[in-house]
């Protein structure tokens, strides 16, 4: 006979998070001030940023409520879910905000699935836009698009996305020696 299955620690922590049991901090998140309760000790154990924020004498360490007005509530919930359970749900709608939070709070359990999700979404068609947009916020992840851009440069330099690149990104692209395009062709596209 088999022994009954014992719930994992991650499953138990997920239940505690869902029920908001024994919480000792509440985050007031986003412009709509969504209240999201959590446990300082779990946050500190999973993130050095939260550890410093909550236990190193910062004003947040004495507060039972912490304001995060610029943070997306859905992304913050994903951050907590990852920290408590190592389980996340990444979608096109939440990946950028969620990844930014994962990087801000140094939560690798969330960063890795976000990067993998982005890698699977990349195509030659969206690579330039991703690279240009990503450069602003998520420099490391934006570089995921570079091999696709290099391999498809001849086609991509004829697109609207190429014409809409920021000046900084255009300069970086022109300095790239791995582009699969003749320099004269690239120059003609830049001039147009």
30 backbone φψ class: left, alpha, beta (φ>0; ψ -120 to 50): left
Tens-digit pLDDT profile for residues 165-180: 888 888 888 899 999 9
pTM to 2 decimal places: 0.77
Judging by DSSP bridges, how do beta strands 34-38 and 65-68 pair with one another? unpaired
Report whether pLDDT(21) > 60. Answer: yes
Contact (CB, 8 A) for 28 and 35? yes
Domain spans of the chain? 122-192
Q: Kindly report, residue by residue over 114-173, the tens digit of the pLDDT.
A: 989 988 988 988 888 888 776 546 667 777 888 899 999 999 999 988 988 888 888 888
77 neighbors 89 (Cβ within 8 angstroms): no
Give me Rg for the CA atoms of the chain: 21
Measuring CA to CA, which residue among 108, 71, 72, 106 is closest to residue 88?
108
């Amino acid at each position: 006979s088999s022994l009954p299955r014992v719930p994992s620690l991650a499953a138990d922590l997920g239940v505690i998070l869902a029920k908001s049991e024994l919480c000792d901090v509440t985050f007031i998140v986003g412009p709509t001030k969504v209240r999201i309760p959590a446990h300082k000790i779990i946050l500190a154990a999973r993130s050095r940023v939260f550890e410093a924020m909550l236990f190193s004498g910062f004003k947040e360490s004495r507060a039972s409520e912490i304001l995060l007005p610029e943070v997306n509530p859905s992304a913050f919930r994903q951050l907590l879910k990852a920290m408590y359970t190592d389980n996340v749900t990444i979608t096109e709608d939440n990946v950028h905000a969620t990844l930014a939070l994962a990087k801000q709070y140094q939560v690798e359990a969330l960063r890795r699935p976000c990067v993998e999700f982005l890698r699977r979404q990349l195509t030659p068609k969206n690579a330039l836009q991703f690279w240009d947009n990503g450069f602003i916020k998520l420099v490391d992840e934006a570089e995921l698009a570079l091999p696709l851009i290099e391999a498809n440069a001849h086609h991509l330099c004829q697109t609207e996305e190429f014409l809409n690149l920021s000046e900084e990104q255009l300069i970086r692209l022109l300095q790239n020696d791995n582009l699969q395009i003749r320099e004269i062709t690239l120059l003609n596209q830049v001039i147009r």
